[in-house]
Amino acid sequence: MEYVTNTITGKNILVTGGAGYIGSHACKALRQAGYLPVAFDNLSYGHSDLVQWGPFEEGDINDSKRLDVVMEKYQPAAVLHFAGFTYVGESVLKPEKYYRNNVVGSLTLLEAMARHRVSKMVFSSTCATYGVPLSVPISEEHPQNPVNPYGESKLTIEKMLRDFDVAYGIKNISLRYFNAAGADPEGATGEDHTPETHLIPLILDAALGIRPQITIYGNDYATPDGTCIRDYIHVADLADAHLLALNKLESDSASAAYNLGTGTGCSVQEVIDAAREITGKKIAIEIGTRRPGDPDRLVSESRKAGDELGWKPQYGDIKTILQHAWKWHLQKTTEKSR
Q: Which is nearer to ligand UDP, 79 or 200 (CB)?
A: 200
319 in contact with ligand UDP (CB under 6 A): no
Specify whether the CB–CB gap between 139 and 259 falls below 8 A.
yes
Q: Does 177 qualify as catalytic in the annotation?
A: no
Question: Shortest gap between Cβ of 329 and ligand UDP (angstroms)?
Answer: 14
CA 261, CA 125: separation in Å to the nearest integer?
12
Ramachandran region of residue 112, left (φ > 0), alpha (ψ -120 to 50) or beta?
Answer: alpha
Q: Which is nearer to ligand UDP, 7 or 215 (CB)?
A: 215
Q: Which is nearer to ligand UDP, 50 or 199 (CB)?
A: 199
Residue 70, beta-bridge partner list: none
CA 66, CA 195: separation in Å to the nearest integer?
28
314 in contact with ligand UDP (CB under 6 A): no
Q: Which is nearer to ligand UDP, 158 or 191 (CB)?
A: 191
Looking only at residues 229 through 268 of this chain, which bind ligand UDP when binding is defined by CB under 6 A?
Answer: 230, 268
- Alpha helices, DSSP H, located in the chain: 21-32, 64-74, 88-93, 95-98, 105-115, 149-168, 199-208, 235-251, 268-279, 303-304, 318-337
197 in contact with ligand UDP (CB under 6 A): yes
Question: Shortest gap between Cβ of 116 and ligand UDP (angstroms)?
Answer: 33
For residue 64, the 8-state DSSP code is H
202 in contact with ligand UDP (CB under 6 A): yes
Binding span for ligand UDP by CB under 6 A among 8-16, 113-121, 210-218, 302-310:
210-218
Q: Which is nearer to ligand UDP, 118 or 214 (CB)?
A: 214
How many other β-carbons are positioned within 10 Å of the β-carbon of residue 55? 20
Q: Which is nearer to ligand UDP, 88 or 249 (CB)?
A: 88
Q: In the set 215, 219, 223, 331, which binds ligand UDP (CB under 6 A)?
A: 215
Closest residue to ligand UDP, judged by C-beta, is: 228
Listed in sequence order, the residues at least 6 apart from 24 whose beta carbon sits closer than 8 Å to its beta carbon are 18, 39, 46, 50, 51, 52, 189
33 in contact with ligand UDP (CB under 6 A): no
Binding span for ligand UDP by CB under 6 A among 45-53, 58-66, 193-201, 239-247:
193-201
92 in contact with ligand UDP (CB under 6 A): no
Question: Shortest gap between Cβ of 17 and ligand UDP (angstroms)?
Answer: 17
Question: Shortest gap between Cβ of 178 and ligand UDP (angstroms)?
Answer: 8
* Residue type (1 letter), 126: T
Specify whether the CB–CB gap between 214 and 159 falls below 8 A.
no
Q: In the set 198, 211, 276, 297, which binds ligand UDP (CB under 6 A)?
A: 198
Q: Which is nearer to ligand UDP, 13 or 318 (CB)?
A: 318
Nearest to 155 by CA among 73, 223, 99: 99
Specify whether the CB–CB gap between 244 and 290 falls below 8 A.
no
294 in contact with ligand UDP (CB under 6 A): yes
Nearest to 292 by CA among 235, 217, 229, 239: 217
125 in contact with ligand UDP (CB under 6 A): no
Q: Select which of 87, 150, 177, 258 is catalytic.
A: 150
Measure Cα distances from 200 to 84, 91, 270 in Å.
Answer: 21, 21, 11
Residue 286, beta-bridge partner list: 215
Residue numbers annotated as active site = 150
Chain residues binding ligand UDP by CB under 6 A are 88, 179, 197-199, 202, 214-217, 228, 230, 268, 291, 294
